[in-house]
Amino acid sequence: MSLQRLRLAKNEDKRLRSGHLWIYSNEVDTTATPLRNFSAGEQVVVENQQGKVMGVAYVNPQSLICARMMTNDERPVDLNTLKKRIKSALALREQLFDQPCYRLIYGESDLLPGLVVDRFGDHLCVQLNTAGMDAMRDVVIEALVRMLQPTSILLRNDASVRKLEGLPLEVVTAYGEVPEEVELIENGVRFLAPLAAGQKTGWFYDQRPNREWLRNIVPGKRVLDVFSYVGSFGVQAAVFGADDVWCADISESALDMVHKNAELNGVADKLSTVQGDAFTTLKSLKEADERFDVIIVDPPAFIKRKKDQKEGILAYRRINEMAMRLLNDGGFLISGSCSMHMPREELLDLVRASARHIDRHAQILAEGMQGMDHPVHSAIPETRYLKAVLSRISRV
């Protein structure tokens, strides 16, 4: 099929030549190729100001990122293109992991912008986060079925980013019969995750390597897992030898899953749950004079937009400081941030500043990022979003 042309403005091809995949609306020569002439999700041939072909992208005139590159030639993206990209992504994960539990497709980093696929054995949870990927949903599902022969595929198309693309929010079964819960294995620990009713795709694989830190620091300790969700940190802490683990979350259904996961691993007797807002919970624990040896603070993104950075950083600092006040002398703190707009240096600095504010000394023992099933695109710094810091907090 013949594709329309999208022409870039003068000198706006540099980022694409370096490997970046995004085209912003102000980088388009809208005199030569008005954005209103394109339909959301439509595939186009991108060319620079001199008419040199840069490749094929899909376009969305409604979005600030108005196009995302898919290839470096003029051929439309089809089933074979998707199968080739999925095959490459699958080969990487199968080499890295001994269990079929991982993020199979991580958008731009796997050269499939807008597509996220989490694998739970024979079950797949898929997010189509852009108009371009949504337009290809049938072909995406067909490619996944052909490549993986899954039992089921659930579309978790309820991420807020779809609103920016002018897309509806929905959770629908795309293939097979989707179970309410799926089983996975992480760091040797078994879990159940709620697919349709859980957060995001039901599980957060990105923190896997940072949860492994617990193995060396929790034996015989008392542990508090804040923002615990279904117990990904807390249950692993119990399995790794902690004596007493408290999981705190605002969601009652998530805490019900914590107990299920504890029972699944034979550590139910070690685990307690606290329901409520995290800040309120930490304040109540301090008033009750509770103390812990290890605390994990892994909140949702406090900085969703760049303009929220100042307020978000204050929230991160406040929650970390409150956690530090609950630590025994020489206790360990794991601080996480999934906010893309929070630089790693900022997280390190707020750990330091929080400790100093309450007359504590913070020793940084390790820094972490997202796991290897969330590879970073070398030309797109935005694909490196997760930060984690392991520190030891002592009295001065």
Q: What positions carry a catalytic annotation?
A: 338
Burial pattern 202-221, b for ≥16 Cβ within 10 A else e, equals bbbbbbbbbbbbbeebbeeb
CA distances from 198 to 153, 208, 364 (A): 15, 18, 33
Give the whole-angstrom CA distance, residue 106 versus residue 109.
Answer: 6
Distance (Å, whole) CA 238 – CA 276: 22
CA–CA separation, 80 vs 82, rounded Å? Answer: 5
Mapped onto helix, strand or coil, the DSSP state of residue 254 is helix
Cα–Cα distance for residue pair 111/59, rounded to 1 Å: 16
Cβ atoms < 10 Å from Cβ of 11? 9
Under DSSP, is residue 300 helix (H, G, I), strand (E, B) or coil?
coil
Cβ pair 115, 126 in contact under 8 A: yes
**DSSP assignment, residue 35?**
G
How far apart are the C-alpha atoms of 366 and 284, rounded to whole Å?
A: 29
Residue 340: Cβ within 10 Å count? 18
* Strand boundaries in the chain, DSSP class E: 4-7, 22-24, 43-47, 53-59, 65-69, 101-106, 115-120, 123-128, 152-157, 170-176, 181-186, 189-194, 222-226, 244-249, 271-275, 292-297, 327-337, 360-368, 387-395
In this structure, are strands 271-275 and 244-249 parallel, antiparallel, or unpaired? parallel
